[in-house]
């Protein structure tokens, strides 16, 4: 039996439900780095194991449904969860299993990153998976965070530019989530300034009101962008669990990822798209070769 202590420290408890990235730059591994860096306690439900590095994904092995469910039960029944972040769910069956378990445990705040493609372009979930997300998870989600390609897959049409963000967000919001963040990082490289677009529902004087906000920031000139989507959604989740309101949590998460990209520009990890530097607040900036290199 645990001995009681005079006082205890409460920190945000964040559960990430996602795939494992053997290269360490995205997925569960990135989520845990972000949650820890931002002062939270990270817990995991692994939905798939990927053979993955900076060059791409070569194999995916889904975890058995009963094992996925057992992981969720184990965390909720003992430790408890302040917020759930969901990433890669590689099949409709896993989507339904996760949705059912979260409903059973009464999960209240869910950040859903509808991961359907890796940075390398590899498919991490087909149209059936996307439709299952829309049906079973969107109505439960406090926030969804699709990039341009994912938003296009969910809506069945291409999102061509910033001018399309508002209409796309409205249509995604109608699918059930409480808020939508469309990420503009996949705009072509000619866009030196990027726009992320947030739209959310709120209640004012007993009436539902829809609000929106643009977040403009510059494109960091780096090839080390692996795991940016996972990192952003995990940062938003951790800031929300720490008590920040939605717009402030999104703004702080964007700044965190931007700093990770800036300070990870010179990381020399792998031959392809390397990771951002998640621990930039705690360890020195990665420097060019002539000044010392990680």
Tokens of 101: 């378990």
Packing angle between helix 165-173 and helix 148-155, nearest 10 degrees?
50
> Terminal CA-to-CA distance of the chain, rounded, Å?
44
Give the residue among 185, 186, 258, 179 at the shortest CA–CA distance from 211.
179
**Alpha-carbon separation of residue 178 from 9, 29, 54, 68, 139 (angstroms):** 30, 27, 34, 25, 8
DSSP state of 133: I
The distance from CA 40 to its chain's CA centroid, rounded to whole angstroms, is: 15
Q: Which residues are designated catalytic? A: 183, 225, 227-230
State the Cα–Cα distance between residues 123 and 117, nearest whole angstrom.
Answer: 5
The distance from CA 157 to its chain's CA centroid, rounded to whole angstroms, is: 22
Backbone angles phi, psi at 259, to 5 degrees: -65, -35
Tokens of 234: 């995990």
């Amino acid at each position: 039996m645990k001995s009681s202590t005079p006082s205890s420290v409460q920190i945000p408890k964040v559960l990430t439900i996602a795939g494992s990235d053997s290269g360490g730059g995205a997925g569960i591994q990135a989520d845990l780095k972000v949650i820890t860096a931002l002062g939270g306690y990270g817990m995991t439900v692994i939905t798939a194991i990927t053979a993955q590095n900076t060059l791409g994904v070569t194999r995916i092995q889904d975890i058995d449904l009963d094992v996925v469910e057992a992981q969720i039960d184990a965390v909720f029944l003992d430790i408890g969860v302040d917020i759930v972040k969901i990433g890669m769910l590689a099949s409709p069956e896993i989507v339904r299993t996760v949705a059912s378990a979260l409903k059973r445990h009464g999960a209240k705040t869910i950040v859903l990153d509808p991961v359907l493609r890796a940075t390398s372009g590899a498919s991490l979930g087909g149209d059936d998976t996307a439709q299952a997300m829309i049906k079973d998870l969107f109505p439960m989600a406090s926030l969804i965070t699709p990039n341009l390609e994912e938003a296009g897959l969910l809506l069945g049409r291409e999102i061509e530019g910033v001018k399309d963000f508002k209409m796309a967000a409205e249509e995604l919001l109608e699918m059930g989530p409480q808020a939508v963040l469309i990420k503009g990082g996949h705009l072509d490289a000619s866009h030196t300034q990027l726009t992320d677009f947030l739209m959310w529902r709120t209640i004012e004087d007993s009436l539902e009101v829809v609000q929106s906000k643009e977040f403009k920031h510059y494109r960091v000139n780096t090839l080390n962008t692996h795991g940016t989507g996972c990192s952003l959604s995990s940062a938003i989740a951790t800031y929300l669990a720490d008590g920040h309101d939605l717009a402030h949590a999104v703004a702080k998460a964007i700044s965190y990822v931007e700093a990770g990209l800036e300070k990870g520009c010179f990381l020399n990890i792998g031959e392809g798209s390397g990771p951002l530097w998640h621990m930039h607040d705690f360890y020195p900036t990665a420097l060019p070769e002539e000044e010392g290199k990680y």
